Amino acid sequence: MKKIINDYKNIIKTLGFDPSKDQQISLHYQRQATNQMQISYITQKKIDQILEHTGVKISPTKKDHRQKYFTATKPAKFFDTLVHSSKSEQYLVEALRTKFVQQFQASVKLSVKLYEADTIPTFYNMQKDQLNDNGKMSFLSSRMSCMQGKPKAYFEVYAKTKGQRIAILEDTDGNMYGRALLWAEGLADGSVGGNHYLDRIYIADSLSGSDEVRAKYQHQMWNEVCTKLNKTIHCYSSAHFGSLIKQSGVGTQPPENFIPKLVEGATALDFEQYPYSDTFQGLDGQEWSMETDGEVYLCNTDGENANGENCSCDSCGDRMHEEDSAWSEADEETLCEECRVWCDDRDEYINQNNAIENTYSGEFHHENDLNR
Ligand SMILES: [Zn+2]
């Protein structure tokens, strides 16, 4: 990294763009420890001021000095501290700045790791530019992906999907620069099948300065996932990085008859909230699909099931399909099959907690209707 900066300093000097006497030169620069995409530095003026006001003699090797007194900045801003130019030279300076940023970013080593289903809610919940409860930072923001930073409860449905994994593009400290869901097909015998599908690939804001750069990282992620699985798979984002693909027949949609399933014992309406889903927006019983008319339709960004109006029981709280519910005038409640009994007197269902059985006729009466 130092070499890149020193190379550019030489280019700048050769072109005559080196800083003027009154400009503060950035000193002791190095990659920021907590964010590899940023540069930590300080100026002589600041060193002098700190000594004058606090008596602290700045040492660039002291970790706490780095944290407390140094400036951490993005490569483009750092580049500007190295340059002094006139308006007419702006075009050339901008071209140099773009190249510098690209080379600096390319010097951060990123690779793909696959994580199991139970970690998926945590990755989605991570907040940008801060240390999260898994000890990692996210450079993906809600601006790049509407689901980033949302409550973990939204993503429980992914955690309960058989064989589901998440592909994370991360640096050597495990910080997140990209993510994509890796779907697996659940077979009838309960095992996870051979087919996989990589969903939409999201890339961090700081990396996706242009479509070209984004495509490069998307291709890297897809390619590394294929290598790990030892096969070529379809990917939602493959249209975006199509020109970089060497293999033929890489589709943007899941393979034919590809049906991911929830784990044993879980069904579509078990969840309190749901995410917006890019490819599989339908969930019915245990099966994911691209149909939108099932029990759950995952097209909302506020956690709601788009097909799920009036689908919880006012008595026990269980969720149900709307057509399995019944409204009781007498109790003013929406009731599930378990919680209601038929009341002939009133010609409607009533809450079974309020029902009294005539053990002779077997009929139920509402307790408020009986004179006891
Ligand atoms: Zn109920």
Q: What is the DSSP string of 72-134?
A: EE-HHHHHHTT----GGGHHHHHHHHHHHHHHHHHTS--EEEEEEGGGHHHHHHPPBTS--TT
Residue 55: per-residue pLDDT: 92
Q: Using the predicted structure, report yes or no on whether residue 344 has a pLDDT greater than 70.
A: yes
Determine the distance separating the centroid of ligand 1 and the alpha carbon of 181, expressed in angstroms.
34
> What is the DSSP pairing of strand 192-198 with strand 234-235?
parallel
- More reliable by pLDDT, 34 or 356: 356
Q: CA 65 to CA 62: how far, in whole Å? A: 5
Q: How far is the CA of 72 from the centre of ligand 1 (A)?
A: 56
Tell me, in angstroms, the distance from the centre of ligand 1 to residue 298's CA.
24
- Ligand 1 mean position to 333 CA, how many Å? 10
Confidence at 281, pLDDT banded by 50, 70, 90:
very high
**What is the whole-number distance in angstroms between the Cα of residue 306 and the centre of ligand 1?**
21
pLDDT for res 160: 97
Distance 368 CA to ligand 1 centre (A): 20
For residue 118, how far is its CA from the centre of ligand 1 (angstroms)?
A: 29
pLDDT higher than 70, residue 209: no
Q: What is the pLDDT of residues 294-329, one digit of tens each?
A: 889 999 999 999 887 656 888 998 877 777 889 999
Which range scores top for mean pLDDT: 5-14, 16-25, 78-87?
5-14
Query: Separation of 330 CA from ligand 1 center, angstroms?
Result: 16
Distance 102 CA to ligand 1 centre (A): 58
CATH numbers and ranges of domains, the chain: 2-106 (no CATH), 111-244 (3.40.630), 322-369 (no CATH)
pLDDT of residue 208: 67
On the question of pLDDT at 204 being above 60, the answer is yes
Closest CA relative to residue 222, chosen from 203, 240, 208, 201: 201
Mean pLDDT calculated for residue range 217-227: 97
Average pLDDT over residues 135-140: 91
Given the structure tokens 């300076």, which residue do they identify?
93
320 CA distance to ligand 1 centroid (A)? 9
d(CA 257, CA 262) in angstroms, rounded, equals 16
Angle (CA) 216-222-226 rounded to 5° is 140
Distance 357 CA to ligand 1 centre (A): 19
Task: Give CA–CA dist 223/89, Å, rounded.
Answer: 40
Greatest Cα pair distance in the chain: 104
The pLDDT mean for the chain works out to 91
What is the tens place of the pLDDT at every residue in 85-116? 888 888 999 999 989 988 998 899 999 999 99
CA of 340 to the centre of ligand 1 (A): 7
CB 349 within 8 A of CB 314: no
Given a contact cutoff of 8 angstroms between Cβ atoms, the answer to whether 208 and 215 are in contact is no
Of all residues in the chain, the percent with pLDDT exceeding 90 is 67
Task: Report how far residue 47's alpha carbon sits from residue 334's, in angstroms, rounded to the nearest whole number.
Answer: 69
Q: How far, in Å, from the CA of 310 to the mean position of ligand 1? A: 13
